Homo-oligomer: A and B are copies of this chain.
């Protein structure tokens, strides 16, 4: 392995000069700089990451904690992770992959050892067990998601409450008065995953405001589970004329089941979803949906972190940054069938 000292010797300068050429923190004459650059090139020099981290106490590594469970929004999670890695690289950082399984201790480990300078957390629960670590003299951190009390924390999230509200508004505007919500798997709510509960709140609040009846049912993924939930919904509320789906694995099964039971979308029943665009556009009926801006979330999370790390005084411009949801109307939503009309 070629070291900085060898480069210095090869270029006929001192080690510190080479270092300053690399970092640019002190002026170096053009001639010298060129010579050093040549030597670096010729010798194929690469600075030793560990030595660098030791001397500068900056590892240039960000830790990313992804959920271990893969029971929801899998493509979104991967897309966020990839966006984080890509954006971090663009800023000269690398990304360390942590699984949620390890919990708070992993955060202590990687930051306490200087392995990572900062962390990005995904899959935030309302009362997340990792939060105490972050608040107590924790490392710079950004959460992708929002806990119930974000005081003193740095969050980036889609405004899921607004997304829920948007869905209800859209359907109410079309004339729907009975809406059913097919949600994530029960386990997701049991864990109090932030985005699921916030969406629900958004849905409920706006429904109340607009005088719309709302029925929420968690739902496991897959055809059979959806069939069961759907049957029970129609049983309980025969007049439901619209569905809001927040469960990517339920979208296509729902469409298939409605079709099979003789309900046309959107003529008889409307369906809208909160899901990645890919799911919405690839479904058998292009579904009106609120997209989940995965890339944007990942990118912003990193950028907030970089900005924070660049701030020398360690101040934290904490706060929640909510992305405004957008509803794209496609082919699955329309006015309800006229009441007690011939179609009934």
Question: How would residues 258 to 292 of chain A score, 1 for a CB under 8 Å from any chain B CB and 0 otherwise?
Answer: 01100000000000000000100111100000000
Complex Cα distance, B81 from A334, in Å, reads 41
A102 contacts chain B at the CB level, 8 A cutoff: yes
Give the distance to chain B from A253, nearest Cβ to Cβ, in Å. 7
Which of A66, A113, A278 is packed against the most chain B CB atoms within 10 Å? Answer: A113
Interface residue from B54, B110, B221 paired with A54 (Cβ < 8 Å): B54
Which B residues are in CB contact (< 8 Å) with A54? Answer: 48, 50-51, 54
A68 contacts chain B at the CB level, 8 A cutoff: yes
A230 contacts chain B at the CB level, 8 A cutoff: no
Which B residues are in CB contact (< 8 Å) with A256? Answer: 252, 256, 259, 284
Which B residues are in CB contact (< 8 Å) with A253? Answer: 252, 282, 284
A33 contacts chain B at the CB level, 8 A cutoff: no
Complex Cα distance, B284 from A221, in Å, reads 11
A337 contacts chain B at the CB level, 8 A cutoff: no
- Main secondary structure, interface of A, reads helix
Given contacts A49-B59, A50-B51, A282-B222, A115 and B102 within 8 Å (CB-CB): no
Contact A281 B222 (CB under 8 A): yes
Question: How would residues 214 to 239 of chain A score, 1 for a CB under 8 Å from any chain B CB and 0 otherwise?
Answer: 00000001111100000000000000
Contact B97 A95 (CB under 8 A): yes
Give the distance to chain B from A220, nearest Cβ to Cβ, in Å. 9
Complex Cα distance, B202 from A183, in Å, reads 41
Q: Across the two chains, which residue of chain B brings its CB closest to A84?
A: B97
Contact A59 B70 (CB under 8 A): no
A52 contacts chain B at the CB level, 8 A cutoff: yes
A135 contacts chain B at the CB level, 8 A cutoff: no
A78 contacts chain B at the CB level, 8 A cutoff: yes
Interface residue from B99, B222, B223 paired with A82 (Cβ < 8 Å): B99
A85 contacts chain B at the CB level, 8 A cutoff: yes
A98 contacts chain B at the CB level, 8 A cutoff: yes
Contact B66 A74 (CB under 8 A): no
Complex Cα distance, B115 from A49, in Å, reads 5
Complex Cα distance, B224 from A81, in Å, reads 29
Give the distance to chain B from A313, nearest Cβ to Cβ, in Å. 19
A112 contacts chain B at the CB level, 8 A cutoff: yes
Contact B110 A94 (CB under 8 A): yes
Complex Cα distance, B44 from A82, in Å, reads 34
Contact B284 A64 (CB under 8 A): no
A16 contacts chain B at the CB level, 8 A cutoff: no
A193 contacts chain B at the CB level, 8 A cutoff: no
Which of A51, A97, A249, A253 is packed against the most chain B CB atoms within 10 Å? Answer: A97
A109 contacts chain B at the CB level, 8 A cutoff: yes
Which B residues are in CB contact (< 8 Å) with A108? Answer: 46
11 further interface pairs, Cβ-Cβ under 8 Å (given A74-B75, A221-B278, A259-B260): A48-B54, A48-B114, A50-B50, A61-B96, A66-B78, A77-B78, A89-B102, A221-B282, A223-B282, A252-B253, A253-B282
* Residues of A in contact with B (beta carbons under 8 Å apart): 1, 44, 46-54, 57, 59, 61, 64, 66, 68, 70, 74-75, 77-79, 81-82, 85-86, 89, 94-99, 101-102, 108-110, 112-115, 221-225, 249, 252-253, 256, 259-260, 278, 281-284
